[in-house]
């Protein structure tokens, strides 16, 4: 219900600003402004106003040119932990590659599970390894698999 209210509040804003994208993930929303960086401050203000009205079970997670509105109890880390308890993942070593602040919970979970966490690009991170960009990731994967 609370997510529906957030969606209803954001839809007119997105409709009034071409190239903004409101991604509906069913249990979360993501407001992307990568194609409208000129709106960064306005998007931040709208999301801040919305955040003040959110119930405690929802939170706003800022990312790279995106704001995600999601349940506090869910994260990429929680999903990884759950996957790693089930076949075919149980007993295997997790590998997680990401490039955004929204990936930090995934890095933390993979680190706890003794896996390989890789941050792509600059920025603070808990990932154990770092690669410069997509080309570096592809090269590393090719060397690791075909090596």
Q: How far apart are CA 70 and CA 147, in angstroms?
A: 40
With tokens 């994260």, the residue in question is 75
The pLDDT of residue 147 is 65
The pLDDT of residue 91 is 95
The pLDDT of residue 146 is 75
For the purposes of burial, counting CB atoms within 10 Å of the CB of 109, is it exposed (0-12), middle (13-18) or buried (19 or more)?
buried
Q: Tell me the H-state helices in the chain.
A: 2-15, 40-53, 76-83, 104-112, 134-146
Which phi and psi (to 5°) does residue 67 adopt? -120, 130
In order of 59, 100, 117, 129, 137, the CA distances from 132 in angstroms are 30, 13, 14, 10, 8
Quick check: pTM over 0.85? no
pLDDT by residue for the chain (147 residues), tens only, comes to 688 999 999 999 999 999 999 999 988 999 999 999 999 999 999 999 999 999 999 999 998 899 999 998 888 999 999 999 999 999 999 999 999 888 999 999 999 999 999 999 999 999 999 999 999 999 999 998 876
**Domains of the chain with CATH codes:** 2-71 (3.30.70.1020), 76-146 (3.40.50.1000)
């Amino acid at each position: 219900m609370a997510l529906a209210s957030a969606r209803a509040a954001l839809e007119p804003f997105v409709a009034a600003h071409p190239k903004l994208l409101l991604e509906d993930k069913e249990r979360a929303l993501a407001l992307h402004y990568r194609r409208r960086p000129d709106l960064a401050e306005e998007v931040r203000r709208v999301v801040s106003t919305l955040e003040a009205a959110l119930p405690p079970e929802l939170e706003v997670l800022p990312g790279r040119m995106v704001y995600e509105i999601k349940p506090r109890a869910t994260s990429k880390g929680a999903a990884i932990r759950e996957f790693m308890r089930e076949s075919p993942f149980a007993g295997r070593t997790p590998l997680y590659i990401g490039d955004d602040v929204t990936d930090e919970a995934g890095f933390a979970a993979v680190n706890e599970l003794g896996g390989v966490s890789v941050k792509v690009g600059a920025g603070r991170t808990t990932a154990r390894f770092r690669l410069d960009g997509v080309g570096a990731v592809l090269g590393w994967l090719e060397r690791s698999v075909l090596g």
